[in-house]
Amino acid sequence: MNMLEFAMQVFRANMMDIPLINPIVEELMSVPWLNLVVALILWRPFFAVVVMPGLVVIMLYLLYIIWFERKLTARIQWRVGPLEVFRPLRGAIQALADGLRYFFQESIVHREAHRPYFVQLPILAFIPVLLPIALIPAGNVVGIKTPYAIPLFIALLSLIPITIIAIGWASNSRFAFIGSVREALMYVAYEIPFIIAAISMIYLYGSADPYVAVEKQTIPGALLNPVACLVFLISMLMATSRLPFEIPEADQEIAFGPFVEYSGMLFGLVMVLAYEKLYLMSLLFTILFLAGWSGPQLAVLGDINAPLWLVVKTLIVISILSIVRSMYARYRIDQALRFGFSWILAFSIIALAIGVVLGYEGGI
């Protein structure tokens, strides 16, 4: 009992304060046992990682973005897009229906695959997806509060391609092998400009602390350093293998590359990896360039104001980015590498120069 009381004490000391649902929370807190669950969910670090902007929001975001992207592409292409699954909302839960189908489908593990890794890696890939979430603050809702959050976030983010390459290796197929090699090459091409663009913003704000970065953005970072913003956006497209850089999983050439052998639930897991990565990178983009969680505050929402603004801004960024899917063809790997190592790298160095000049003597 002592342990539980101690846990309760810890949770209560750092709980979300949302005036809108306060009466309900007060009511629930008087129920034994249930109050522990409620306190845990509303405990700020837990709320940040698991609810918002963490796991629960990621799941909702996946439902939304897959539907929105298909619907937008369909509108551009003189089509209707998903419609029949839940007609009142124009097929909005299509992704959920697909997910259910994946769930009940047989996951075939072929004979040549390295069985343990083949099955483990799609699940292990969630570690680098969920860990960076703990570092991203949204106002006072934060998992791990550290002044080095941005570098740590980028470091954890760069683990995702490694899991993809490992997935390709474990698949042990020619197309998966080519896809893995392409993924590795693309990784080198976008990661350097991406990191330099982020560093230029760190220079500009004079700190790697997201709180400082958001505080200093009275003018959004996208206007302070538009070159860095551009480089960041393009390397986001490259990192999440979206057209025109959908090279590692080009389905007409190498049939989904590293994921060619997956089926069923495992395919469902690896398919959403790129979308999750896009979400994480957009979170960072929002914090660095769009003034993060700052925005008009509603008193009734209390603490949840900040995460809400962060998530809304992120979703807007992603929704705008999803239009490129219907606009461009796919580049060849050598063209993409040339692009990454010449133009993008050059622009990132210009961005770094702008950042250093503007952020001279401890940031703006």
Rounded to whole angstroms, the Cα distance separating 222 from 230 reads 9
The total number of residues shown for the chain amounts to 364
Closest contact distance (angstroms) between CB of 345 and another protein is 19
C-beta of 196: minimal distance to another protein in Å? 25
- Identify which of residues 36 and 181 has a Cβ nearer to another protein in the complex: 181
Closer Cβ to another protein, 86 or 328, answer by number: 328
For residue 184 the two structure tokens come to 């590795």
Closest CB to another protein among residues 8, 243: 243
- Report the distance separating Cα 219 and Cα 294, nearest Å: 11
Contact status, residue 125 vs residue 270, Cβ threshold 8 Å: yes
Residue 38 Cβ vs another protein, minimum distance, rounded to whole Å: 46
Q: Which DSSP string corresponds to 71-140?
A: HHHHHHTT---S-STTGGGTSTTHHHHHHHHHHHS-----TTS-HHHHHHHHHHTHHHHHHHHHH--BTT
Note the residues at the interface with another protein (CB under 8 A): 73, 76-79, 174, 178, 243-244, 246-247, 250-253, 255, 325-335
Nearer Cβ to another protein, position 41 or 72? 72
Report the chain's C-alpha Rg in angstroms: 22
Q: Smallest distance, Å, CB 65 to another protein?
A: 17
Nearer to another protein, 76 or 298 (CB): 76
- Cα 243 to Cα 247, 282, 285, 331, distances in angstroms: 8, 17, 19, 8
CB of 178 to another protein, least distance (A): 7
Q: Which is nearer to another protein, 115 or 332 (CB)?
A: 332
Please, which residues have CB within 8 angstroms of residue 206's CB and are 6 or more apart in sequence? 212, 216, 359, 362, 363, 364
Q: CB of 333: closest distance to another protein in angstroms? A: 6
Using alpha carbons, select from 143, 126, 124 the residue that is nearest to residue 51.
143
Other Cβ atoms less than 10 A from the Cβ of 107: the count is 17
- Choose between 33 and 78: whose C-beta lies nearer to another protein: 78
167 or 237: CB nearest another protein: 237
Rounded distance, CA 261 to CA 109, Å? Answer: 8
